[in-house]
Amino acid sequence: MTTPRPAGDRVFADVATAVLGPGDHRFADLLDVLAQMPAGQLDVVHANDDLLPRLAHENGLDAALAAARLALRPGGLFIAAVPELDKLRRLRPTAPPPRVSGRGDQRQVTVQLWDWAEDGQSYGLEVLQLARSGSQWELIRAVSTRHQVITGAQVTAGLTAAGFAAVQRLTPKESGHPLPLWVAVAP
């Protein structure tokens, strides 16, 4: 089990506190749940930005949502950040703006590159992370994956089929996260 990390994941903890109330909530990342599958022991399972689209492309989304549901105690929360790219597939942009974190010598830049399938139903994603090294930038991490474009209706249907209740979409303005958050309750 892990606890949410600072920055973007901090929003998951804030949402959990708003719904569950203050306390020492047991969190786990969905990837950890898939590796361990602790039944009924967690208060919150969370999934970061690109995990659900990647699992959908790998035909593993339904099984992952079912595993998340089983790992949660009754009343526990599933919280996922999901990019809504279904409206962009017509335009097929090649990249979002770079994301900059830190200051001075600690500054890092994360760049995403998108390579869309002809039908617009999926895209390749390359994530490059650069960090300052003296007066130059150095590539410190590169990851490539393939993702399926999933709609809000598909997220809701998947969560409902996995047995979740009270499925809700929070806008970035409501949650403070740069992407919409999907929140669902384990009955």
Distance, CA of 136 to CA of 94 (rounded, Å): 25
Largest CA distance in the chain: 54
User: What integer pLDDT is reported at residue 3 of this predicted model?
Assistant: 44
Do 127 and 174 lie in a common domain? no
Contacts 24+ apart (CB under 8 A), 31-39: 32/1, 32/2, 33/67, 33/68, 33/71, 34/64, 34/67, 37/67, 37/70, 37/71, 38/1, 38/71, 39/70, 39/71
Q: What is the count of structural domains for the chain? A: 2
pLDDT tens by residue, 126-169: 999 999 888 899 999 999 999 999 999 999 999 999 999 999 99
- Same domain as 33, residue 16: yes
Same domain, 51 and 127: no
Q: Tell me: do 54 and 80 sit in the same domain.
A: yes
CA distance 155 to 149: 11
Same domain for 48 and 27: yes
CATH number at residue 181: 3.40.50.150
Q: Put residue 18 in one of left, alpha, beta given phi > 0 → left and psi -120 to 50 → alpha.
A: alpha
In this structure, are 17 and 68 located in the same domain?
Answer: yes
74 and 30 within one domain: yes
SS3 28: strand
Structure pTM?
0.84
Ranges under pLDDT 50 in the chain = 1-7
With a CB cutoff of 8 Å and minimum separation 6, the contacts of 84 are 151, 152, 179, 180
- In a domain, residue 113? The reply is yes
The answer to whether residue 39 sits within a structural domain is yes
- Which pLDDT score, from 0 to 100, does residue 1 have? 45
What is d(CA 169, CA 184) in angstroms, rounded to the nearest whole number? 9
Q: Both 124 and 35 in a single domain? A: no
